[in-house]
Structures are given as structure tokens and as C-alpha cells.
Structure 1
Amino acid sequence: MARHSGPGGSGESVARLSPLQAFRAEHSRGFYVISCAWVGILAVIGLYLVGFGGYLVHLGGSPYYVLFGLAMLAAAVFYFGRPTLSLLCVVGAALLTVPWAFWECGANYWALFPRLLMPFGLAVVALFLYSPAAAPRMPASWRKAATCGGWVGLVLCVLGFGRGFMNVPIITPDAKQLADYKLPTPEALKAAGENVSDWTAWGRTNHGTRYAPFQQINRDNVKDLKLAWQAHTGDLGPGVRQDTPLQIGDTVFDCTPNDIIVAMDADTGKIRWRYNTVSTTAAPWQRCRGLAYYEVPAAIQEAAQQAGDAQAPRTNDADEALASPSACRRRLINTTIDARLIELDADTGKPCATFGQQGVVDLTQGMGRVPSGFYFQTAAPTVARGQVIIGGWVMDNMMRGEPSGVIRAFDAVTGKLTWAWDMGHPDWTGAPPPGEHYTRGTPNMWTSAAYDDKLGLVYVPLGNDTPDYNTINRKRVSHLFNSSIVALDIKTGKPRWKFQTVHKDVWDYDLPSQPALVDVPDGKGGTIPAVIQTTKRGQIFFLNRATGEPITKVEEKPVATAKGELPGEELSPTQPYSVGMPTIGADHLTEKFMWGATMLDQLLCRIQFHKVYYTGDFTPASLRPSIEQPGNIGGLNWGSVSYDPVNHLAMMNDIRVPSLFFQVPRDKFTGVLLHGHFPNPFTDAGHGPAPQYGTPYGMITEFWLSVIGAPCVQPPYGTITAVNMDTHKIAWQVQGGTVEKMGPFGIPSHLPMTMGMPTYAGTMTTAGGLVFFSGNQDFYLRAYDGANGKLLWQYALPIGSSATPMSYVSPKTGRQYILVSVGGMNHNGPTGDLMMAFALPEKDSKAASTASPASAPGEKTSSETISQPS
């Protein structure tokens, strides 16, 4: 019995104190409150981890969380009476977490982040609290050691957290790759066919390589790049800008999401003319990713004019159009969000009156019934041998039998249909017979085609017969062509060859990107004409573009999920894998791959993983939630690749966010999202809930996110990658931006941590050894070293950019510009109407221009070489 001396000096008995009462008597009120809060935190964490961790064990998952939770509960119980034991529980649990964490994920920093940071943070707090908590009972040396340990732990936590701000590459080039990297000479550029000056197509040329052969801005001086001018296009309506401008001579041409066409001075951004196409649509995708350009060859124009002067009889529609006084020599071509093909005079911005009907061709002709918003164009058309080649976007997953995926070519002078490829009617060569329409519901091309003039082939990347997630009632001909790249004869539109990247696709793995046409050494002193086709699967198919045969090995592999769970579903037992090329961001998922900002939300993602259906690649949608990995946005999406023809490096960016998807029987389909939202097919664009009319099921799909709004898989969520097309291996890979503008629950973190976020649009590569990219979630335009991926320069944009940069050299001033459309980032932040151009200071531009291999002003441009009529 405890005793103390009372006023009378005699010992008096007092009641025995509980550990809590004793602790309260021995410490200040403030420290007592802090300690109670600490015990409460430990108890809550412990109960949470034991409860949810126990459920994870029940599902067959890791027992770690239960064990750690029990340690936290023990630490809470022991704290007031036995602080030393409480400290050992917290610190011991943190230390024992280390071998478990490395066993699960190795030395991957972002995988270790949620596993170690919280346990060590708790241990640091425990060490600092131990000294005052144990003061009345423990030697000072013990308490001092604990405090020192706390400071050491705090430094380690700060260093560990700070590592997240370091721009450490994911993959670095080896010494040989660095030694072999070289900047091109003018002769090398000319040999590679890269000696033209203008940017006349969406991918700069019809080869789609997005390579600017200019060296005025280079690795040494890019740090001095400054904003040279900016302009407003005037379109602040709905839609995120994804446009890459054209540049012809001293003028830049651009389109906006709602199809306003603008011409700007290449050196100042001053608007020369603006044309509003007055395009409207009920569909969700207000997009114009680019324009096309056609310059009528002078000989044809002059011959037609002479024939007109002599009042000679017209031999064809083209002669008639060219002989007209209102004929347009230089033409801009736009496909609109309400399915029209429009040609404008590039000099005046006025419609070319003799093209179609007063400058307009109705692209719904021959299509049959087209519900509002169910068919239109979002990608730039391709101009080849005097023809405008277009595909079309259709409303995903609404119904079987949507408008046709027909590929058509129109005369660039008259707007007359020259050929059409309707895979359902291969005998048709033009417009459908009277009373007929093109085959409904065939795979479509919603991106841009590429074109090889020497081979006379148009390379068409196809999507699916929508609905994308179900094969019930799908056409047999669609199975032949879905998710395929098809080479069409430029004269007839007939297929020469096809290569299919997914069989019987029910994952929305359509081909989103323009093919890149490149020439690679054949090992015998010659070259192979090749095509690079990237996919949402993260697979890169490398084909001979003359024959369609794979250059690198493609292997048909059995897929474990070949047998679906839906009656009537047709799935392929095998799928093609490009095993001779690297796969980008398509990791096989396991529980260990689950992630969270802390171990708490990571645990919930682990639980989700065990509750959903996933057996690996090509897990089909069933009646239960299933994981689609990669998700329906990729992988590698519509930004395509840029290509360094001297070092044979293909630059690409990817997205790594899996989807959850499942089918719902027709009588039960309400369209309710997993988190309780209701669908709007015109805002979800078929990527949210969609009815799939014509099949027995509706479907639901959405990004697979944790409770805090972050992907449930570990970072990176996007990268910039260089692939060596000689070795067929990744040369280098870096994270795709930081989390500065994103964070838990959608709240911006303002922390430039290099986690690597989902990327949009594409890269642009220059002869100056640089790779430019602006489609980051953190609103920066960046320049990377083409040799190793090192970040050399970045500029904070006022809002995000979902567009691919381009570059040109002004024929007036000789300055090289980097130009990017700044109109908002998908899923993140506001939209706008800015066009921003960057250049070196004028004195530096003049000094560097003498070393640039750019074509001299007035040199023949690519528009005069790739647009020759046959």
C-alpha cells in the first residue's frame, strides 16, 4: 500500500492508483492529453488493421496487416503502465516490416512507400514520446537513447519522403547505347528523308513520325527557352483541346474542339483570319486533333486555268473546279464534330466554293440512319495523292448496328467520292447502290491513317464492332478485321494485307494510334520499310509495311480466360503477343502489386483485388466485377509515337490505370456506376455505364480507384519511354510527371513528387537531341534528353495540355519555335483556348541558326512532295 507523510507527520494509506491514474499524476495535463490522443490513434489503427486485415486473410491474402494491427493494439494497452513494452511493440513492428516489404516488392521505391513510411512515422512518434512518458521510472540514459533514435528515425523518414521528389529514371541506357547516340548531320537528315521545312500533316508528314529536323534548339541551350508569343483561339466552349497545329511557310493553322479554324502569324501569333464552321453535336467528344493540308500542284492548276481561258471542254470535275476563279490553290481540310468535310482557302480562310457544296461534303451520305452524335470525326484526315482519307468515331457501347466503319477517300479538289472500303461489301468500290447503305456496325478508324507514297499504301488502324465488350450477335466480318491494322491500296481502297492485334476483342482494345512508318537497317546494307503500331495492351507490333509480316517475333499464346461466363459469348483461345518487342506498362497483377498512399488504403485495395475477378491478361467482362489490365484507355493511346530516324529510337508515352468492368442482364440493368452515380451516355461516351442494345446485357466500366481516388495499383501511372528499334529493347524510361496538381480525394497536393501520372497526347522529337512532351497531369511542358531521358527544361503552363507539341523554323526570322496547344487536361483542371510558342532569345536564335540543318526559306516543302496526284 502506497503511503505518504500527511500534515501530522504520520503515514496514512491511500488507495492504489491504476496505471492511467498514476500516469496522469506523474505528468503535466498537456502531455497527458497528447498521450491519450496517441493511444487513441494506436487503438484506431490497430482495430482497423485487425478488422480489415482479418477479412483480407479470410479472402486468402497476406496476414501482415493483422499482425501489425495487433502490435498497435498492444502498444495502446501497454502505453500508460509499461511504456517500454509499448515502445518495443511500435518500433519492433516497424523494423520487422522492412524484410516483409523488401520480400514483397524488392527495392521499388513507390512500392515501399506505403509499406514503410507509416510504420516508421509511428515509430518516430513513439520514440519521441517515450522519454517523457517513462521519465519517472527509467534511467536517463535509456530515455536519451530513445530520443536519439527518434531523431535518427525522423531524418530517415524525411530522407525517404524526400526521395519521392527526385527525378530518378526507371530505366537508364547502358554505356554502349550512350556511346552510339549521335546528333544528325544535314546529310544524315537528307538521307533519312527529313530535309523538309514545314509541318504539313498531323504527324508532321504522312509517315506520322513527329520528328522536327531542326537543331537550333538543342540539348545545350534548351535551358534558355522562353515564351515567345501566345494567342487565344477564341473557343471557350465545351471540350478539351487535343490539337496539334500545322505550319506552312510563315503561317500556323489550328482547329479548336468546336471546329473553329484559325490562321496565325508564325512569329507573333497574331490572328490573320478565323473561320467558325458552326459545328454542333449532341455527342460528348468535342475534339479536333488536327487539320490536313493540300496544295494543288502548279502544273495541274495552270493546265486547268489555260483550258478555262481557251474555253476548252472540261474533261472532268477536277478541271472544272480548278478553272473556277474562286479555286483554292492552298487548302486546309477539316473534319467536324457533326460529320462534315470542309475545305478552306489557306490564304483567306474562306470556303473553297467548288469543293463539295460550297466547300462542304456531308459525311453522313451513304451511311443510312445516323442518330445525332453517333457518328463524326475527331482525328485529322490524311491527304494522299490528291485524296482526303477519313474514318469516323462512333458512340461506344450503345447498341449493335451503329453507323458503319467504312473508310472513304474524297477528291481533294472536288470533294467527289473516289473510293470506299466497306468490309461488309468488299465488292463495292464507291457509294452504295441506290436504296442501300454501308454495312452498319463494322470496325471503325477513329484515329488518323498513315501513308507510304512509294508503296501506294494507306495504313488504317481499326477499332471494333461496337458494343466493344460483347461478341453476342457480332458480325463475322467484324471478327476478321477488329483491332487490326489494314494496308489499303491508294488507287482502289482494296486491302493489300492486314494484321490483327486482338482476336474477338471484348476489351475495347481498338487501335488508337496513327501507325509510324520508319525505315530500319536489314543487316545487309539495306533497309526494311517498317511500320510501328502501338496498342492499348502496351504491345508494340513491328511489321514490314510492304507485306504486313512481323519483323520481330509475334507468338500466339493460349490465354487462361479464353472461356467466358456469358452464354453465347465467343472468345479466342489464343492471342497474339509481340514477344520480340518490349511491353510497356502491362504488368500482371497480384495482391503484392496493390498500392495506396498509406498502408490503410493499400489494405482496402488488396481486399478489392481478392473480391473481383482477375486471372491475368484478357480477363473478359462477366456478371461479376472484373479487372481489365491494361484498362480501356491503355496502355499506349492516341498520341502515337515520335521517331528519331538517325538513332532509331521510338518515343512513346503510356497510361497505367486498370479498369473495373462487368456485364448486367438486360432486365436488371439500371446503369448505376459502382460508386452510385447514374449514367449519361452523352457524357460517359460509352466508357461509363452503357446499354449495349442488341445484346442481352448492359455493361459498366470505370477506372479502378481506391477510396482516396488514386489507382489501386502501384506507380508509375504513366511514363515516357524510348525504344531502340535496332535492339528491340527499352533504351530509357522516365516517370510521366508529378502529383503536384493531383492528390487524395481529388485535392491537389502541390507536391512535385515524381510518381509518374497518366499521360495524354504524344511526344515530339527533334534533331537537336530533344523529346518534348506536354500531356502531363501537372501542367508542364518538358524537354528531355533524347539520349538518356534526363529532364533538361520545363515550363509551368497556366492550365494543362492534352496536345502533342510541334516545332518549326520561321522562314522570315529563322527562329525555331516549339508550339503547343494549351487547352486543359483530361480529368484534371480547367480548360482554355491558349496557343503558346517558345523560342530562344532572339540573339541566341540568330547565333544558333547557322548550325541548324533546317531547310532554307523557299526550299520545296513536304506538301509538294507527299501530295502529288497519281
Structure 2
Amino acid sequence: MRVLTLCLLLLLGLTLTIGGGMLLALHGSAFYLLSGLVLLLVARGLWRHRRWSSWLYAGWLLALLAWSLWEAGLYGWPLATRLGLPVLLGLLLALPAARRSRPYGYTGPAGWPVLGTSLLLGVVALAGMARHPHETRGRLAAAPSAAPPADTTAPAPGEWPAYGRSTHGQRYSPLQQITAANVGRLQLAWQMQTGDVRLPDDVGETTYEATPLKVGDTLYLCTPHSWALALDADTGKVRWRFDPGAGMEPQRQHQTCRGLSWHAGSATESADGRACAARVFLPSADARLHALDARTGQPCEDFGDHGAIDLTHNMPFKQPGYYYSTSPPLVAGDKVIVAGAVNDNYAVDSPSGVIRAYDARSGRLLWNWDSGNPTRTAPLDPADPGQVYSASSPNSWAVASADEALGLAYFSMGNRTPDQLGMFRSRAEETYASSVVALDLASGQVRWVHQFVHHDLWDMDTPAQPSLLDLDLPQGRTPALVVPTKQGDVYVLDRRTGQALLPIGERPAPRGTDIPGQRLATHQPYSALSFEPPPLREADMWGASLVDQMLCRIQFRRLRYEGRYTPPSLQGSLIYPGNFGTFNWGGVAVDPRRQAMFGMPTYLAFVSTLVPKTQLEGQALNTGEHGLNENKGADYAVELKPFLSPLGVPCQAPPWGTIAAADLRTGMVAYQYRNGTIRDLSPLPVPIRMGVPGIGGPLLTAGGVAFLAAAVDDNFRAYDVDSGKLLWNVRLPAGGQATPMTYLDSRGRQMVVLVAGGHGSIGTRAGDYVLAYTLPGSD
């Protein structure tokens, strides 16, 4: 035992001395170097049986405690990282066997000083676990007793005919059979498996992100490999299945489908019993748009070319896998409006980000809006290969929204590829990138645009569907639009004009770049309503132990970091919030009665490094969003990766994932709490609630309940909307990285449905489940 203790002291001492010296040379904390020297001295004293070695270690523990409290305060997780390994070593050092020089003799130092200080540190760390300084505790204002004016465009209460329930994208249901008082009794009503499973040759980001539709007695959903299915809404039994044969393409950056779209057709068509009187639209991974008969799943022969449109028509470049619609198209009136995702950082010359409106019955192109050529909305001739859209123009990969009364469609815009290199962009592309744009439904012309990042070099696409609701403001009831961003800002705009309803400002941005031809915006916008994290400090570095926390500090000091919007660089830049986003495609849900939002702010730092092409030889290129991407045609590739310790845990202290609610009239955050456990991240299945990342969206109901899966633990949860209190928590058979929905079945039971199939890029458990929950005995 004595030899083992000596070896551990020497190993830790040498590691801290060497690493601490490197950190000090980078102008970091001197504490690690001093600690390493102290531990080497303790080891020498223990080897020579000196009593002072025990006192020296105890004194170092007290100094470590004081330093840790000075850096991190009484907060358990940062304290555990700093104190855990030294306390364990101290307890080992306190054992008599660690201090004996022979089997039955004792000549070493006393153990009680080390034991006493080790226990003290352990008690302080445990006390810190009860404190959560990053949380905001409060309540939302209660919902008014009177309902807001009826929305004449809203679907029937028990239906869910669009991705966000309606084209307003609220992800809110007026159903209130399930309440905060009874949600804890929810149980599984039925489950089914689609049969679409992850395959060995699938791309890394093969994900189940679908939100089903519910119309009449049928659910409609899609799967990662672009299947469309219709299910009995009471039982989950398959009514029809359609496989478009999209095939496998290794150059796809994503293999996902977030949902289908519904078009009801006319009353005359339905009365006549015509084929495809009602239809669903499926975007497939081979860049086609399919129109299917809602009753049978058969292609609608009157739409496009025997039921499908090839969306690569008029594209300037048509590399396989570079373009397709991951989100459902927008159906507004008799138009189906399609946008698409363009692979990030694959090539300078890529497909266009054009948005196109087609006749929902015939598939005839009605207008096209290309952010690279925004005034030309007259439809190009699909049969003329000489007419092409702008290459690589900013695209809209998120779900769109519409206000048909205003005649406007709202699109969240991404960036022009390459995301981290700005020298390829035109003035028009600079105007519309990383914004929300309102297009005239009739003509496709721009009515207004509001940008959230100027000259985006960080892949800060506007990632989520805009949510539409009316707000009671001092100037009266105002039609509003709510847009969450990757940066953590939530913008509340007048949806008629794009003007801010909550204050927006501009801040100076970091300057200076080591890339020829690269320019930087001098200022960047921010919103009064924001879940933006504070800038990172060296003291915020985490890791799982004192050693890899030190290694994270060394990484931190080696990277360029000047706060939000630190530009990408050759040395590597720390980007926080990272391009994973504080908010991503799951967005937020809004409650039109409370006039509030509920969402899942996530916090993960990323590292962005520009790599000269001369250094690429022998390096493996990646086909996903993260890793090393080529940027073919540019002078620099880009490497994106999460900021992790050598043990693979985030270098920043938790929490990494939260739930939060805010009043949209005032911009005040009501509460924000940790969300999720490390049960499925840790080698031991311990459900420690640290607050973990996630991707997916929430559902709100008039019953005062918020439903959310999304976190990287395989759980489905329900929260009290007013307080954020956890009310219900069940395990899932696979990762639940999708947005739930709710409806009434034929017996009048409120059902809550979630697709659970995992997410390839964040490593949650794969599956192919559709799960429906209801209250026992409800009818």
C-alpha cells in the first residue's frame, strides 16, 4: 500500500508539475505547478518517513480548498473536479498501511491531519451540490381566465395537421385533459416500430427527428430513410407505407426527415371521393418532393412527374447528397413551398438555397426566391438547363411558418457555404444570411428581412421555425413572431414589419484575423430576451478530475478566445455558444394564453480551426457537420469539434442543458433549471441530474404541461409550465431526439406521441419506435 501511495503521489506530482509549467508559460494559473512541486515534496517525505509530509499534504488540501472556493464559489460540480482526486488520495494516505515501513512496525507520519482535512473537503464539496448558482427560480404569470380571441385558421382542438400543429408553429395544443395534477399517471397506450433501422453504411447523422401529423383517425410520419407511414391513431397499426427508394449516398451530411405536410384539398374533391383529394407531401433524401394520396399512400399521378418533383431542377451544381429538404415543406392555401438544406463546408460551388412555391395539385412552379438573386421571383423554366439559380446561396433548412391572413411566409435563413470563410459572398447573400425573411405568399417577393448575425463566420444559422402569436403590449394587441437563435438570443418581432417588439441592440465584436481576404463585422446584434451564457474564463474549465481540468485550461489558453463571435483562426478559436446552438431546430413552444415561451437552452463550446489546404495531405476528411471538412474550391478547410477534455467530457463546467420559460411581453426569464441526467453518458448508469445537452423541441398544452424528451439521456419528461417543476419522467427504448405532439383519438382520449429512434451525431441509442401515452381509464 505504501508503494502504491508513493507511486500515485509521484505520478500526480509530476503530471501537475509538467502540465502546470506549460499552463504558467501560457499565462495561466500558477496553482497547478505549485501543487505539483508540493506533492513531489510530500512523496519525498513519505519515502523518508517524515512526519511533516502528512502535515504538508493536509496544508495543501486546505490551500486547494481556499483556491477552489475563490475560483468557483460553493458550487458542487466545479468543487468536485478540483477536490475529488486529492481527497481520494488523502484518504489513501491516511491509512496506516500506506505509512508503514515494514509489516508490523510504524515509523511514518501521523494520518489524522490528512484524514481530517480530506473529510472537510468532502463535506464542503457535498454541501456545494445543494447549490445551483446558474439556475433562475421563479414562476410564469398564471394563464388568464378568459381565452384569447379564437384563431379562425387554427385546426380543430384534437387535430395536429402541421409540424407545429398549424402554420403558426406554436407547438401548443388547446387540449387540457392532461393537467399538471394528473400527468404523473400517464402510461403507455401503444407502441409500434416502423422497421426503418440504422444501417452499417449510414452517414453519421442518421437521426429520428419526425413529429407525426394527425388528421381524422390517422397519424402520418416519416423516417430517416424517407419512408412515409400512415398509422391508426387509436392503435398505431400501419395502414400504409411508402418507400420512395431514396437509396444511400455517403456524401449526405444528414439522413433525416422531420415530418410530412398535409394538404386537405377542396370540399368538392373530398365529396367526390377523388384520388388524392387529400394528400401528404414527403421530401425524400434524394432531393425529390412526393405527393401521396392520404388514404392509400399511392403517388398522386397529377402532381409533377407521376407524383414527384426532382428538386435539383435548375440547380447550378448537382453533386449527389449535397442538397435535400430535411424539414417538411410549408403548405399555405394551395401552394406547397419547399426550401432545402445545403451541405456545410463541402464545396464553394454547391447547390442553391432557393425557396420554391409549387401548385399543391399539379406541381407547377409558381415562383422561386433565391437569396443570391432576390428580386428575380418569376419561375425559371425547369426544362431549360441554361436557367440556373445562384450557387451556394444561403438556404433555409428549418421549418417555415405562415400567416395567411397577412399573406406572408416566414423562413429562417442559414448561411452561404463555406460558413467560416466570408470572401465568397455577394451583397445580396450578406443581406439575407442568418436572418428571418418574410416572403409574399402570392409572388415570393421579399416584404421584410431581419438579420441576427452580420457577416456570419460561425455557422450561426437561424435554426428553428418562427412561432407566431399575438401579444398584449402597451400599444395594444400586436401580431408577433418569435425566433430563437443558436447564440441564445430570442427575438420578438412584429410579424407585419419585422420591427423589434422587445429591445435589440448592437455590441462591438472581436477584431483581427489571420486569413487573407477575410473581413469581420465591427458590431453584432443582441436581444433583450436572451439565454446567452456569460463568457468563459479559465476558472470555468472542468473535465472529470484535477488533471484533465488542467489539460482543459491548457487548451483554453492555446485557443483564441475573445468572447462571443471570436473569429475562426489558424490557431483554433473557441466558439461559445458553439454551432450546436443554445437553440437548434427544436426551437421553442409558445403559449398564446400565457403569452410565454418554453424551451431548452443548451450550452456547449466548440473549437473552430481553419486548416490551409497545403496541410491536408494524409488527413481524413469528414462527411458530417463536425470534423474536418474540405471546403473544395477554397484555400482553407475547416475543422469543427466540441471542446472536450482528454476523457471526452466537456471542458466547461455544467450545466450543459436546461429548461427555461420567459414572458414574451416583458422579456423576463421566469425560471431556468438543469435538464437531464448523465445516466446514459456515464459508464455507470447513475441518474445524476447535472443538466445535459439535447436536440429536439418541446410541446405545450392548455393543461399547463410542457412535454420534452430531446436530452441525451433516454427519458421523456413532463414539466409544470408555471413553475418548471418536473412532474413525470419515463425511460425510452431509444433516444428521443424529436418533438412530441398530442391529439384526441376516436374515444376522446388525449394522446401524447413521441418518435424515439436516436441521433447519430450525439450518440444516443438507435431505434425505430413510435410511442403513445395516455391517462389510464380516460375516455
Identify whether the pair has TM-score above 0.5, normalized to the shorter chain: yes
Larger Cα-atom Rg = 1
Identity rate, percent: 37
| Pick aligned residue for 1:545 from 474, 486, 495 | 495
2:337 match: secondary structure:
strand
Instruction: Name the residue aligned to 1:822.
Output: 756
Q: Give 1:231 deviation, angstroms.
A: 0.5
RMSD: 2.6
Tell me, yes or no, if the aligned pair for 2:83 and 2:121 is still in contact at 8 Å.
no
Task: Confirm whether residue 68 of structure 1 aligns to residue 2 of structure 2.
Answer: no
Task: Confirm whether residue 720 of structure 1 aligns to residue 655 of structure 2.
Answer: no
Q: Give 1:639 deviation, angstroms.
A: 0.5
Tell me, yes or no, if the aligned pair for 2:211 and 2:259 is still in contact at 8 Å.
yes
Instruction: Name the residue aligned to 1:692.
Output: 631
The residue identity in structure 2 corresponding to 1:556 is E
Compared CA separation, residues 717 and 742, structure 1 to 2 (3 A):
same
Compared CA separation, residues 189 and 828, structure 1 to 2 (3 A):
farther
Task: Confirm whether residue 121 of structure 1 aligns to residue 85 of structure 2.
Answer: no
| Pick aligned residue for 1:501 from 452, 459, 462 | 452
Compared CA separation, residues 196 and 167, structure 1 to 2 (3 A):
farther
CA distance in 2, matches of 1:388, 1:570: 38
Compared CA separation, residues 214 and 129, structure 1 to 2 (3 A):
farther
Q: Give 1:189 deviation, angstroms.
A: 8.1
Tell me, yes or no, if the aligned pair for 2:395 and 2:414 is still in contact at 8 Å.
yes
Compared CA separation, residues 148 and 235, structure 1 to 2 (3 A):
closer
Task: Confirm whether residue 554 of structure 1 aligns to residue 515 of structure 2.
Answer: no
Instruction: Name the residue aligned to 1:447.
Output: 398
Task: Confirm whether residue 248 of structure 1 aligns to residue 187 of structure 2.
Answer: no
Instruction: Name the residue aligned to 2:137.
Output: 173
Task: Confirm whether residue 402 of structure 1 aligns to residue 353 of structure 2.
Answer: no
Equivalences for 1:330-369 in 2 at 5 Å?
330-369=278-317
Task: Confirm whether residue 385 of structure 1 aligns to residue 354 of structure 2.
Answer: no
Deviation digits for residues 241-264 of structure 1 (CA, Å, limit 9, x no counterpart): 111111112211110011111111
The residue identity in structure 2 corresponding to 1:820 is L
Instruction: Name the residue aligned to 1:292.
Output: 261
Instruction: Name the residue aligned to 1:600.
Output: 547
Deviation digits for residues 89-116 of structure 1 (CA, Å, limit 9, x no counterpart): 2222222222211221223332222122
CA distance in 2, matches of 1:404, 1:286: 19
CA distance in 1, matches of 2:611, 2:441: 43
1:832 match: secondary structure:
coil
| Pick aligned residue for 1:431 from 355, 364, 379 | 379
Instruction: Name the residue aligned to 1:866.
Output: none
Task: Confirm whether residue 40 of structure 1 aligns to residue 7 of structure 2.
Answer: yes
2:436 match: secondary structure:
strand
1:607 match: secondary structure:
helix
1:825 match: secondary structure:
coil
Task: Confirm whether residue 226 of structure 1 aligns to residue 154 of structure 2.
Answer: no
The residue identity in structure 2 corresponding to 1:60 is H
Instruction: Name the residue aligned to 1:204.
Output: 165
Task: Confirm whether residue 833 of structure 1 aligns to residue 779 of structure 2.
Answer: no
CA distance in 2, matches of 1:758, 1:595: 16
CA distance in 2, matches of 1:154, 1:368: 64
TM-score, length basis structure 1: 0.83
Equivalences for 1:156-195 in 2 at 5 Å?
156=123, 159=126, 170-174=134-138, 177=139, 180-182=141-143, 187-188=147-148, 190=150
Equivalences for 1:367-378 in 2 at 5 Å?
367-378=315-326
Q: Give 1:137 deviation, angstroms.
A: 7.4
CA distance in 1, matches of 2:156, 2:301: 34
CA distance in 2, matches of 1:137, 1:376: 74
CA distance in 2, matches of 1:167, 1:254: 43
1:69 match: secondary structure:
helix
Tell me, yes or no, if the aligned pair for 1:292 and 1:334 is still in contact at 8 Å.
yes
Instruction: Name the residue aligned to 1:667.
Output: 614
Instruction: Name the residue aligned to 2:742.
Output: 807
CA distance in 1, matches of 2:236, 2:326: 25
Task: Confirm whether residue 475 of structure 1 aligns to residue 475 of structure 2.
Answer: no
The residue identity in structure 1 corresponding to 2:621 is P
2:22 match: secondary structure:
helix
Tell me, yes or no, if the aligned pair for 2:598 and 2:698 is still in contact at 8 Å.
yes
Q: Give 1:132 deviation, angstroms.
A: 7.1
Paired positions, count: 764
The residue identity in structure 2 corresponding to 1:329 is A
Compared CA separation, residues 155 and 128, structure 1 to 2 (3 A):
farther
The residue identity in structure 1 corresponding to 2:420 is Y
Q: Give 1:150 deviation, angstroms.
A: 7.6
| Pick aligned residue for 1:625 from 572, 593, 617 | 572
CA distance in 1, matches of 2:563, 2:719: 34
Tell me, yes or no, if the aligned pair for 1:642 and 1:652 is still in contact at 8 Å.
yes
Compared CA separation, residues 326 and 296, structure 1 to 2 (3 A):
closer
The residue identity in structure 2 corresponding to 1:499 is H
Compared CA separation, residues 660 and 154, structure 1 to 2 (3 A):
closer
Compared CA separation, residues 139 and 389, structure 1 to 2 (3 A):
closer
CA distance in 1, matches of 2:133, 2:295: 46
CA distance in 2, matches of 1:785, 1:260: 35
CA distance in 2, matches of 1:84, 1:817: 69
Compared CA separation, residues 427 and 69, structure 1 to 2 (3 A):
closer
CA distance in 2, matches of 1:671, 1:577: 41
Instruction: Name the residue aligned to 2:712.
Output: 777
Tell me, yes or no, if the aligned pair for 2:76 and 2:126 is still in contact at 8 Å.
no
Task: Confirm whether residue 87 of structure 1 aligns to residue 48 of structure 2.
Answer: no
The residue identity in structure 2 corresponding to 1:173 is R
CA distance in 1, matches of 2:132, 2:21: 37
Q: Give 1:820 deviation, angstroms.
A: 0.5
Tell me, yes or no, if the aligned pair for 1:84 and 1:130 is still in contact at 8 Å.
no
Tell me, yes or no, if the aligned pair for 2:314 and 2:389 is still in contact at 8 Å.
yes
Compared CA separation, residues 484 and 255, structure 1 to 2 (3 A):
same
| Pick aligned residue for 1:734 from 673, 676, 680 | 673
Tell me, yes or no, if the aligned pair for 2:28 and 2:557 is still in contact at 8 Å.
yes
CA distance in 2, matches of 1:619, 1:649: 32
Instruction: Name the residue aligned to 2:471.
Output: 520
CA distance in 2, matches of 1:66, 1:395: 45
Tell me, yes or no, if the aligned pair for 1:402 and 1:441 is still in contact at 8 Å.
yes
CA distance in 2, matches of 1:139, 1:690: 58
Q: Which moved more, 1:80-89 or 1:712-721?
A: 80-89
Tell me, yes or no, if the aligned pair for 1:671 and 1:689 is still in contact at 8 Å.
no
2:438 match: secondary structure:
strand
Instruction: Name the residue aligned to 1:570.
Output: 519
Compared CA separation, residues 169 and 422, structure 1 to 2 (3 A):
same
Instruction: Name the residue aligned to 1:274.
Output: 241
CA distance in 2, matches of 1:290, 1:553: 34
1:771 match: secondary structure:
strand
Q: Give 1:582 deviation, angstroms.
A: 2.1
CA distance in 2, matches of 1:417, 1:704: 45
User: Structure 1 stretches of 5 or more lacking a match?
Assistant: 1-33, 306-324, 673-677, 847-870
Task: Confirm whether residue 465 of structure 1 aligns to residue 416 of structure 2.
Answer: yes
Instruction: Name the residue aligned to 1:863.
Output: none
Compared CA separation, residues 600 and 634, structure 1 to 2 (3 A):
same
CA distance in 2, matches of 1:487, 1:629: 29
Q: Give 1:736 deviation, angstroms.
A: 2.7
TM-score, length basis structure 2: 0.93
Instruction: Name the residue aligned to 1:421.
Output: 369
Compared CA separation, residues 126 and 648, structure 1 to 2 (3 A):
farther
CA distance in 2, matches of 1:722, 1:83: 58
Tell me, yes or no, if the aligned pair for 1:799 and 1:822 is still in contact at 8 Å.
yes
Compared CA separation, residues 528 and 206, structure 1 to 2 (3 A):
same
